[in-house]
Amino acid sequence: MRKFWCLFFMFWPIAAIVYSAMSPAYGWWFPGASVTELGQRIDNLFYLILIIITVVFIGTQVALGYALWKAAHNKDEKSHFSHGSHNLEVIWSVAPAVILLFLALYQMDVWRDFRVKAYFPEGTIESPIAEVTARQFEWRIRYPAPGKKLQLKPQPDDLYAVNDLHAPIGRAVMIQLRSEDVQHAFFLPHLRIKQDAIPGQVIPIWFKAEKKGLFELLCAELCGWGHYKMRAQLTAEREVDFQDYLKKLQADQNYDGFPASDSVAKKEE
Amino acid sequence: MSVRWQTIVALMLASLLAGCGGDTSKARFAENSALAKQLLPKARKAVQKTLDDHFGSPLDSVAWLKLPVNYGKAEGTVKTVDGQKLSVEFNAEASDLESLTSPELTRAGLLFTSGSNAGKQVLLAKFDSKNSTFETLPGLESAPSSGDQFVAAGHFLRHGRKLYARHCQHCHGVSGDGDGTTAKYLNPRPRDYRLGVFKFTSTASFPAPIKATRDDLKRVIALGIPGTYMPSFVPMLKENELTAVIEYVRWLAMRGEIEKGLVTELKGEYSKDRSKDDGIDKSLETYLSETYPNFVNEIAGEVGEKWSGAEEEGTPIIPKKPRPQDTAESRHRGKELFLGNKAKCVNCHGPTGRGNGPMTEDFQKNPDTNETYAERGLYDTWGQPIKPRDLTRGIYRGGRRPIDIYRRIYAGIKGTPMPGNSQALSEDEIWDLVNYALSVPYDSQAPKSPKPHSVAEHSMDHGHAN
C-alpha cells in the first residue's frame, strides 16, 4: 500500500510530462510559428519560462518520489514534526524571487518594443493604417482614404469595413484600438498579439507581418453573451494588394448604382 | 453518512443522464397568439393544424413546395430496386449531402424527373444516408426502375434551422417573432419576421411595397446593422451557411405571413365574440371543409408571389443618373429640400438633422387602426416606439453608400414612418438630399454655402449655437 501511494504520486507528473511532450505533434500548441518577428521573441520568452518550470517541476517531483519510495522501505524510524528550518525558508523564498526578478528584467526589451510608444518602429505612429472599434459583437474598421492620414474623428472620405482587417506585409503598421461599449480584447493568435480594448481609450498596437495569409482575429475577453460571434479575420497581403483593397473598398463605398468610371462624384478633388 | 453520499451520487448521476434539455421532441413554433386569440377556439385550432401540416415543427419541418424557398436539392439516380427499397447514388457534392440525413427530407420526399414516374413525388418511410438507401411509402403506380433520376429536397432547411438555432434564435425567437430569450434586453428590439416586412431593402415601396431580396438579407447578415445589436456574421458564416440561413429566415417570414393571412380571413366570420351565435359551429365546419383548403392555397400563393416578385430581375432600385458631384450647391439645394415643405424631412429629423423634429413631440395615429397612440412620438408597424435617425452621428443602419441613402429616400424604410419619396421628389432632388445627408456629420468641414444669409442657413447656425 505504501508503494501504491508512491507510484500514484509519480504517475501524474510523468503523465503530465508525456502529455506536454506530445502536444506539439497534435497541434495543441502555438498556432504555428509566429508571423511576426516580435512574436517569435515572445515565444522565446514562453519557452524560457517553460524550461525553468520544467526543471523545477522535474526536480521537485523526483525529490517527492525519492522521499516516498525511501519511506516506504523504512519501517524503523518514526516521522517527527518540525517547525521548519530558517535556512530552508530563506532558500525557497529567495530562489523564486531571483528567478522572477530575472524574468522581469529579461523580458523588458520585448515589452518595450511591443508596448512603449517611443520605441514603436518608425512611421507607425505618424500614419496608423486603421482604427478598429470593438463592439458587442463585431469589429468595425475605419481606414483613411488612400493617400490620406487617419484622423481621430471620422472624415467624409474614410472607408469602412466590418470584421475584415487588411494589412500590408513587410512593413510595421499600427492600428488604433477602441471599444464602443464594454471591455474587449483584440487577439491575433498567429501574430501573438493580444491587447484589451477599453471604452474611452484609444490604444495603439503595432505589428509587422512577415508572411501573407488569412489569420484569425478574435475577442479574448468574455464581453457578453455573443462573445463567440466576434470572429473576424486579418488579411496580410502585399503592399500593392493592400492598396488595391483600399481602392476597391473606396469604389464599393461610393457605389451609386453605376460603375465607378461613369460617376461624376468620383472625380471630385 | 454513507446513505447521504449515495443519495448525492445517485442524484448527480440522474441529473447527468437526464441532461438539462428537457423533452425537445415536442418543440413547436409559437402561435401568434395576439392575433389568434381573437378567433373561435375551433377556428384557432384549424389555423394551427394548417401550419403544422405545411410547416411542421422546428425539429421536424416540412418543405412546402408551393413557397418560393430554395429548400436545397440534391439530384440522384436509382441504382437498384427491391420492393419499396431503393438503393441510390447522389451526384451532389459531399458538403451538400452532409445535411441530407434529415427528417425534413423524409417528409419532403423525392420527385422523379425521369422514367415511368417522371413528375411524380413519393414520400419516404426511411432514409439511410450511410448506405444511400431509401424506403418509400406506397403511392407510386409503377415501381421505379434502375436508372430513374430524382431530386431530393430539404437540406437547406435543416442546415438553416441548425444555424438559425445557434446564432439567431436567442434574439429573433424560434418562430421568428423577435422575442427570443435575449430580446428583452435589446433596444431597438430584434426584428419580428412574421409580418414579412424587413426595413433595409433595395426594393421599391410604390405602388405596393416589394419584399426584401435575398441579397438584401445577405447584406444585413454580412454587414450587421450599425447602431443596433445586429452584428456582422461574416466571416464566421461561410457562403453556403449564409444561403441556408437566408432561406430559413424567408421561410419563417412566409410562415408568419400565412398565419396572419389565415387568422385575418377567419376573423371576419368566426371571431371569438360570435361564439354564442346560432349555428356558428355548423357554419365553421362547412367553411373548413369546403372553402378553407382552397383559401390556404390561395394565400400561400399570394404570399409566395410577393416573395418571388422581389427576386425578379431589375427589382433593386437603380437611379437613372449617377450621383452628381458633391458640391456646395448640391448640398445647399438638398438642405433647402430637407427643411422645405416638399420633402418634409425636417418634420421628423429636425432642423439640424438630430432626429428631434416636431412629429416626435406629437401624438401620432396608428395608420392601421386609426387610433391615437397613448404616448407621444413615432411608432413602427410592430407597435414599437421609434426615433428618426440622428443624421449628425454618421451611423447609417441600412448602409452608407450613396446608393443606400438614395434607396432610403426613394423607397422609405418599410415598416416605419419614413415614407418613400419616389413620387414627391425628382431624381436630381433625391441626389441633392443624399449629398446633404452625407455631409451633415461633417458640417463644420463642409464647403461654405453660396447663400450664407438664406433662412435655411440661419436656422442651421442657430442649431450650432446650441
Q: Same structural domain for residues B366 and B431?
A: yes
User: What is the average per-residue pLDDT within B178-188?
Assistant: 91
Distance of CA A173 to the CA centre of its chain: 16
Q: Specify the range with the lowest mean pLDDT, choosing from A66-80, A122-136, B82-96, B352-366.
A: B82-96
8 A C-beta contact, residue B408 and residue B190: no
Q: Tell me the percentage of chain A whose pLDDT exceeds 70.
A: 96
Helix (H, G, I), strand (E, B) or coil at A147: coil
* Cβ–Cβ gap B406/A257 under 8 Å: yes
pLDDT at res. B20: 54
- Shortest distance, CA B202 to any CA of chain A (angstroms): 11
Question: Which residue, of B265, B282, B310, is where some domain finishes?
Answer: B310
Higher pLDDT, A75 or A268: A75
Query: What single-letter amino acid sits at A110?
Result: V
Chain B environment of A155 (Cβ under 8 Å) = 442
* Cβ–Cβ gap A231/B229 under 8 Å: no
pLDDT for residue A255 is more than 70: yes
8 A C-beta contact, residue B335 and residue B458: no
B163 part of a folded domain? no
Q: Same structural domain for residues B289 and B343?
A: no
Sign of CA dihedral B311, B317, B321, B326: negative
Q: What are phi and psi of A47, to 5 degrees?
A: -65, -40
The number of folded domains in chain B is 3
Q: Same structural domain for residues B400 and B437?
A: yes
pLDDT for residue B438 is more than 90: yes
Q: Which of B232, B405, B408 to mutate to test the interface with A (most CBs of A within 10 A)?
A: B232
pLDDT tens-digit map of B360-400:
999 988 888 888 898 999 999 999 999 999 999 999 999 99
CA distance A70 to A76: 12
Q: Which of A152, A163, A166, A215 to mutate to test the interface with B (most CBs of B within 10 A)?
A: A163
Q: Which of A132, A135, A138 to mutate to test the interface with B (most CBs of B within 10 A)?
A: A138
Q: Same structural domain for residues B201 and B273?
A: yes
- Shortest distance, CA B102 to any CA of chain A (angstroms): 27
* Cell of residue B336, nine digits: 433647402
Chain B environment of A254 (Cβ under 8 Å) = 323, 401-402
User: Strand B121-122 to strand A159-162: parallel, antiparallel, or no bridges (unpaired)?
Assistant: unpaired
Confidence of residue B437 (pLDDT cuts 50, 70, 90): very high
pLDDT at res. A159: 96
Q: Same structural domain for residues B393 and B445?
A: yes
Q: Name which CATH class applies to A122-255.
A: mainly beta
pLDDT tens-digit map of A8-27:
999 999 999 999 999 988 88
Residue numbers of the domain that contains B106: 73-153
- Which one of B226, B236, B394 has the shortest CB-CB distance to A229? B236
B104 part of a folded domain? yes
Q: Same structural domain for residues B418 and B341?
A: yes
Among A268, A120, A265, A85, smallest CA distance to A203 is for A120
Chain A environment of B441 (Cβ under 8 Å) = 154, 156
Helix (H, G, I), strand (E, B) or coil at A215: strand
pLDDT tens-digit map of A159-186:
999 999 999 999 999 999 999 999 999 9
B250 part of a folded domain? yes
Q: Is residue A139 exposed (0-12), middle (13-18) or buried (19+ Cβ within 10 Å)? A: buried
pLDDT at res. B370: 85
Q: Same structural domain for residues B182 and B299?
A: yes
pLDDT at res. A267: 45
pLDDT tens-digit map of B90-139:
776 545 555 555 555 556 667 788 888 887 777 777 777 677 777 777 77
User: What is the average per-residue pLDDT within B299-311?
Assistant: 94
User: What is the average per-residue pLDDT within B142-162?
Assistant: 81
Query: What is the average pLDDT score of chain A?
Result: 92
DSSP state letters, B357-379:
-GGGGS--B-TTT-PBPSSSSEE
Residue B393 at interface with chain A, using a CB cutoff of 8 Å = no
Distance of CA B314 to the CA centre of its chain: 21
CA distance B282 to A113: 85
- Residue with the three cell numbers 474611452: A200
B7 part of a folded domain? no
Q: Same structural domain for residues B109 and B193?
A: no
8 A C-beta contact, residue B177 and residue B189: no
DSSP H helix total and E strand total for chain B = 16, 11
Q: Same structural domain for residues B258 and B357?
A: no
Domain boundaries of chain A, sorted by first residue = 2-72+89-115, 122-255
Query: What single-letter amino acid sits at A192?
Result: R
CATH number at residue B405: 1.10.760
- Shortest distance, CA A196 to any CA of chain B (angstroms): 20
Q: Same structural domain for residues B303 and B223?
A: yes
- Shortest distance, CA A183 to any CA of chain B (angstroms): 16
pLDDT for residue B461 is more than 90: no
| Residues in contact with B400: Cβ distance below 8 Å, sequence separation at least 6, in sequence order | A160, A253, B394, B438
- Which one of A137, A162, A265 has the shortest CB-CB distance to B223? A162
B59 part of a folded domain? no
B178 part of a folded domain? yes
CA distance B266 to B122: 33
User: What is the average per-residue pLDDT within B221-241?
Assistant: 93
B392 part of a folded domain? yes
Q: Same structural domain for residues B451 and B337?
A: yes
- How many CB atoms neighbour CB A6 within 10 A? 19
pLDDT for residue B217 is more than 90: yes
Confidence of residue B190 (pLDDT cuts 50, 70, 90): very high
* Cβ–Cβ gap B401/A252 under 8 Å: yes
